[in-house]
Chain A
Amino acid sequence: MKHNVSFAGQQVRLDFPDELEQTVDFLFGRLPTGPDSGRAQRITIKAGSQSGFDMLREGALLAQGLPRRELANPLMGEVIHALIENQSEGLSLHAAAVSSGDRAVWLPGRSGSGKSTLTAWLLSRGFDYLGDELVHAHLKNNGFESFLRPLNIKNSALAAVEELLDIEQTHPRMLRSSSATMIPHTEFSAASGRDNTGLSLIIFPEFSAESALGLEPLSPARAALLLMNSYVNARNLENHGFPEIAALVKKVPAFKLIYGHFDQLDGTLDEIIRLILEHGASGSELSRWLKIIDRQAQYRPPPITTATPAPAPIPQASPAGTRKKLTIGMATYDDYDGVYFSVQAIRLYHPEVLDETEILVIDNHPDGPCAEALKNLDKWVKHYRYIPNQQLNGTAVRDYVFREANADYVMCIDSHVMIQAGAIRKLIDYFDEHPRCSDLLQGPMLRDDASSVETHFKPEWRGGMYGVWETDPRGEDPHGEPFEIPMQGLALFACRKSAWPGFNPAFRGFGGEEGYIHEKFRAAGHKALCLPFLRWLHRFARPMGVPYVNVWEDRIRNYLIGFTELGLNTVPVEQHFSELLNPEVVDRTKQELALDEPGPFDFFDAIYCINLDQASQRWSQMLERFGTLGIVHRIQRFSAIETPDNHHIGCALSHRAIIDQAARRGFRNVLVFEDDAIFHRDTLSNLEASLNELEGEEWSWLYLGGVEWRKPTPVPGKVHLQKPQRMTCTHAIAYNREYFRTLLDELPETREAMQSWVDKHLAIDQYLARRPESAYATRPTLVIQTNHSRVAGAAPDEEFLP
């Protein structure tokens, strides 16, 4: 069957099996269909090959095997995405909308901000429903359209919404998935989503459990700033529609609503909205109305706040295909052109290997401007896989390429490298002919004249790099025999997937990998070889600038860590950077690393600290505490996933994301702190003792601290380890590799699914507390929380550092 969905001049054509007719009508039946435009984006749902439904867009597979009850949300999301993707005729924003008479109110906010729930409350107070997700303001006639879809309520809020709207009887017609429920909008006095309703007020809702009611008038400039956060088609408009946003907020009043419970809104919010709608007010007028004081010009510190348009939806990873002989992997950051030409050059000049080869692109900026185009290459390029990556960056991404590779041989290239015709065929043949080869294979870099070559790096320091280009005459003949090299630039290298030794987990950002990885192969008994046929061309010049930052301190740090790991003398590193930059930078980095002082925290492959972006003071305090332990250099800050409605959701998602990173990078374990951790005065010696006792034990996770609801039980023969009994909190916990997969399978990845999971398990610490089989805790407790220092089970405060 076929159904068109039209919105604000854009159209999507849906093709679907007959059995989904009711579902499609439920989701999109109130939206205009419009005449067939011929330019409609095409989304196809078909019965999956095994079970459930597959969803495709323009023929490219988006999702496989979706159960019927889980289909609605992804389908709705994809339709909305398709409708705004090329929208350039007005401003599309994430916002709910309600109306009263011919006047409308917008409630902007990104997905998950609670705008649907507040919309339900407004409906219960007599407002008409226009939509809960997307509005589109026309530039020419000041009108707007709202995407009239079923009201989409998270399951955790469903009971409250049902009570508000008195709609229990509509249960049979609701569409319920594991995370959210869609309520038919025919239940409300829904006005048309496309009428003459004029925008009269903008409310930015901010729900925070237990918070007091707050109505903060927003000046037009501040309203514009907030609106930019919800703005979804900015990239399609000239100057990103900035002047139009500014023009809009000058005409429409706005305020921020902070609330902790619906009861606070009764008789206040509804009355204020009606007052404004009835009397009308400009942004400036409303601002003056609601200001209680400050008629005199008054100095305020000059805070400078910023906003960026809502990021584009992150494209889904391409499904992995059948296993190939060779993966050609590359990571990219906003370099579509580089990837395009690298990939298409492989197809044009190496057709003989395409059926044996997978092309893997790791996108390090999947909500950036190139993501969609990079993903779309999978529609055209056979055996191309796109993987969005938001967590890893710098040198470490190459580890990720190897882990994701779906082939026995892996060639990793920069996303702006082209390979001489015939060379990939010869590389595969080389691997085939040398089945025991675990060497690092590289080739000569062609200079821009495309004839002269640089075969390797001479191990010397120059300009902040270890390695200076050099040519070995043996590499000038492409038919020459392989020969050993000391090192070479890593814009192209290959080895067996199983032979990849990986980078040191403590590496940060860019730099320090050349020479290090070559030495690591040699340390494992293998070689670094130049294969003269494996010639490649590298784009160096970036006249338009590089969209990421190289940090000197990261580079120095990586060299020092790498050299130390390999037992090499670090003095040349220090001398070079002292001369190039200044000795203070080197000393500071060395001090951070404390390389000469191995400690118990070396046991952990990675150490993360979860911190909210706005909690900068907490972060500063944590850095001081880590500094006291001498582990600042080991700490990777993890930007906490924020879920104001229920912080347990964000907490569990943050822990899951860290475990996911650890799994992707092949870590043996990972230690996670939250940013309210306080350390025992003897943390180092006690931790060392605990870890010594942990050696040889099977363990799932290790608490360095927690709230003891039951007394931990002793472990025979152990003094510094104990078995936790109902221990909660996750402010200091290490996870073992053996349990990464279990946890990743148990903890859902998306906010919506995690919401349901939290409904069932309450929180990640509660979940872990119920699975104590292989868990251990240090004895004594080494880490407590700033606000839990006196709870039962925690040691007295004086034993802990400030």
Chain B
Amino acid sequence: MISLQQVFARNNNYQLEEIDDELLLYNPAHTRTIYLNPSAAAIWKLCDGHTTAQAIITALQDVYPDAGNIAADIADALNQLHEFGAITVSDGE
């Protein structure tokens, strides 16, 4: 489970293709391609090793003010990215 104070960093072993505002991540070691829609791509970009889950949620709520409560969606996305090995997680400072 993701905690709000954890921070996430992108796994540099993934190749990146940005097409319009969507992302494709590819890890040759796993032969798996991951597709991120614009919302998920924004989450991925915010995984910079410093930004906490809470800050990612806040940032996306600012971008999509009418989206309602999106915290659970974002936690799911972070969990999935973590399961795929596309991001690493740490407990923050």
Contact = CB atoms under 8 A, between A and B. Distances in A.
Contacts of B37: 300, 302-303
B20 A221 contact: yes
A306 B35 CA distance: 6
B28 A239 contact: yes
Contacts of B67: 299
Interface stretch (A222-230, A557-565, A579-587): A222-230
Nearest to A242: B26
A42 interface: no
Interface stretch (A109-117, A185-193, A243-251): A243-251
B35 A307 contact: yes
B28 A240 contact: yes
A344 B30 CA distance: 29
Interface in A267-323: 283-284, 297-309
Given A225-B24, A308-B31, A242 B17 contact: yes
Interface in B39-93: 39-40, 43, 60, 63-64, 66-67, 70, 73-74, 76-77, 80-81, 84
A389 interface: no
A224 B66 contact: no
B33 interface: yes
Contacts of B31: 234-235, 240, 308-309
Contacts of B64: 297-299
Interface string A193-236: 00000000000000000000000000111101100100000110
A302 B33 CA distance: 16
Nearest to B86: A304
Q: Max chain B CB contacts within 10 Å: which of A234, A304, A305, A307?
A: A304
A242 B20 contact: no
A301 B84 CA distance: 18
B77 A243 contact: no
Interface residues of A, number: 31
B36 A228 contact: no
B81 to A, nearest CB: 7
Nearest to A227: B33
A229 to B, nearest CB: 9
Interface residues of B, number: 33
Interface in A451-483: none
Contacts of B74: 302
A302 B39 contact: yes
B23 A221 contact: yes
A301 B70 CA distance: 8
A302 B20 contact: no
A315 B18 CA distance: 36
B19 A220 contact: yes
A306 B81 contact: no
B26 A221 contact: no
A246 to B, nearest CB: 4
Contacts of B35: 221-222, 224-225, 304-307
Q: Max chain A CB contacts within 10 Å: which of B20, B23, B43, B81?
A: B20
Contacts of B15: 239, 242-243
Contacts of A234: 31
B19 A221 contact: yes
Contacts of B32: 306-308
B28 A246 contact: no
Contacts of B20: 219-221, 284
Contacts of A299: 39, 60, 63-64, 66-67, 70
Given A302-B43, A304-B40, A221 B34 contact: no
A225 B22 CA distance: 11
Given A239-B15, A240-B31, A242-B15, A302 B26 contact: no
A234 B26 CA distance: 12
Contact of A304 (B19, B63, B70, B77): B77
A308 B27 CA distance: 10
Contacts of A242: 15, 17, 24, 26, 28, 33
A309 B24 CA distance: 14
Contacts of A222: 22, 35
Contacts of A309: 31
Given A240-B31, A250-B19, A303 B26 contact: no
A243 B20 CA distance: 15
A100 to B, nearest CB: 27
A222 B34 CA distance: 10
B17 A301 contact: no
Contact of A306 (B66, B70, B84): B84
Contacts of B43: 302
Nearest to B83: A304
A505 to B, nearest CB: 30
Contacts of A221: 17, 19-20, 22-24, 35-36
**Interchain residue pairs A-B with the least CB separation, the first 7:** A299-B64, A302-B40, A299-B67, A221-B22, A246-B17, A302-B39, A302-B77
Given A299-B63, A299-B70, 10 more contacts: A222-B35, A224-B17, A243-B17, A246-B19, A299-B66, A301-B39, A302-B36, A302-B39, A302-B40, A306-B33
Interface of B: 15, 17, 19-20, 22-24, 26, 28, 31-40, 43, 60, 63-64, 66-67, 70, 73-74, 76-77, 80-81, 84
Interface of A: 219-222, 224-225, 228, 234-235, 239-240, 242-243, 246, 249-250, 283-284, 297-309
10 contacts: A221-B36, A225-B33, A228-B33, A240-B28, A242-B26, A250-B19, A298-B64, A301-B70, A304-B77, A304-B80
